Homo-oligomer: A and B are copies of this chain.
Amino acid sequence: MPDAETPARADALRNRELLIKVARHAVAELGLGVSVNEIVRRAGLGQATFYRRFASREELLSAVLGDVLDEVLDGLRQAAEADPAQGLRDALRLLVEHQARHRGLFELLNDHPGAAAEVHADSQARVREQLRRIGERAQEAGAMHPDARWQDLPFLAGSLAATSPSCLGIDADDNLTDRLLGTVLAGLRTGTARV
């Protein structure tokens, strides 16, 4: 446990940064369930070092997820300023790609078991807020049918992201996500078909 008064030692600071960097990749790859063991193994450090820098596993996860959420939020804010049709495209694509590349983010945004929903609830609320703006602008511009709901956008993005990691099966198809995204965008513009 670091003494709040004395200035931290150089190696301590270095290792803290290293752990955050490594954890970012590990959470992206393995999800929120990643173990401290795995993180310190990748960092080439001991477990005790981890617990000297962070109070718990959750504290580090929270830090990592905060960073990623901020990144997403920045992108969405830009999409909300852009041309409405393009902004909708960009927003969906951003959400899909980030979630497809970052399993931890996917698990957090889709309430997977093991993800504490209240972690960064504020940032998650801001994500929804931006999506509402993006959806409403797209509807006004005719890029999204009035019947479609902005509330469904995160679900659609999560849906598409869910398939990305599992493309291994039938064919190694790089454009799968692009095609599915195109299909969904077309559906959003046209409006839902009666089922």
Contact = CB atoms under 8 A, between A and B. Distances in A.
Interface of A: 89, 93, 110-112, 117, 128, 148-149, 151-152, 154-156, 158-160, 162-163, 166-171, 173, 176, 178-195
B163 A110 contact: yes
B193 A185 contact: yes
A194 to B, nearest CB: 7
A151 B180 contact: no
A158 B152 contact: no
A185 B110 CA distance: 23
Q: Copy number in this complex?
A: 2
A163 B170 contact: no
Nearest to A90: B195
Given A117-B169, A155-B176, A182 B162 contact: no
Contact of A179 (B112, B149, B185): B149
A190 B192 contact: no
Nearest to A169: B111
A88 to B, nearest CB: 10
A152 B179 contact: yes
Given A183-B152, A183-B187, A111 B195 contact: no
A142 to B, nearest CB: 13
Nearest to A181: B195
A180 B159 contact: yes
Given A110-B163, A182-B195, 7 more contacts: A111-B168, A151-B171, A152-B180, A158-B163, A181-B195, A183-B193, A187-B190
A186 B186 CA distance: 7
A158 B189 CA distance: 22
Nearest to A176: B155
Contacts of A163: 110, 155, 158-159, 162
A167 B117 CA distance: 13
